[in-house]
Structure 1
Amino acid sequence: MDHTFLYDGDCAFCTQSAQFLEKHVRTTAKVTPWQWADLDALGVTQDEAEAAVIWIEPGLTRAGPDAIAVLLRRAQWYWKPIGGVLSLKPVSWLAWPVYRLISRNRHKLPGGTAACSLPQAERDRLAGP
């Protein structure tokens, strides 16, 4: 599979969102937690993966709402217009602050847990050896 969509597998809100994508948005991408992915092979750093969802395909890597836009443009016909609109510069510029707001508060959203608000290093430390 040449397309990959990475998300935070330690975050329940993110996992539920990814499950929605897998169930309702047919895409060519492998939707996978970044913690289970070979980040080096994908050309992504852990810091990048922690910061936002990421779409990866040969010659194209996008993060946050830009990644979601690409995923939707690569899905069934009825998702493509939504991805197209989300890709438009004025919409994309507005989508980033909304994405960051949701990302910073995902632990407060339905399905979110306290772990959702912690960086991976903190999660690892709390989990112990």
Structure 2
Amino acid sequence: MSRDRTDARGTIVYDADCGFCTRTADWVGSHGTATTQPWQTLDLEPLGLTVDDVTTAAYWLDADGRVTARGAGAVAAALRSCRGGWRVLGHLVYARPVRPLADVVYRWVAANRYRMPGSTDACRIS
């Protein structure tokens, strides 16, 4: 999976069982050009993804439906699909010097998503 290819017309794949993830995906969908797709509605096998993959990280599909980013990279791509300062933030998150920190922050948020606003019991990753 390439971390350098993104397309503002792509799709963020998220966990619809998690209230925090759903609220975040809804926000992305209303602020940018990206579409949002819960993993529960996708055939994961042709994408090369497993249930474990999509319950532990968000994924970015380019305009052709190929997986091109996961985790912080997927969030950065989604932000780059947004307008104004959010687009700038997406480029910053994806910048080579910031990317390692963004990955750490993403893993922490994913592990603690059940503590985030809008979370539900389903947000807890086992």
Structure 1 gap ranges (5+): 120-129
Q: Give the letter aligned to residue 42 of structure 1.
A: L
Alignment match, 1:35: 40
Percent identity, aligned pairs only, is: 38
SS at match of 2:97: helix
Structure 2 gap ranges (5+): 1-8
Alignment match, 2:32: 26
Q: How does 1:62-101 map to 2 (within 5 A)?
A: 62-101=69-108
Higher relative contact order (CA 8 A, sep 6+): 2
TM-score by length of 1: 0.78
CA deviations over 1:20-77 (Å, ceiling 9, x no partner): 1122x221x3201111122234332222211211001135510111111112223335
SS at match of 1:111: coil
For the aligned residue pairs, the C-alpha RMSD in angstroms reads 1.9
Q: Give the letter aligned to residue 42 of structure 2.
A: A
Alignment match, 1:102: 109
Larger radius of gyration: 1
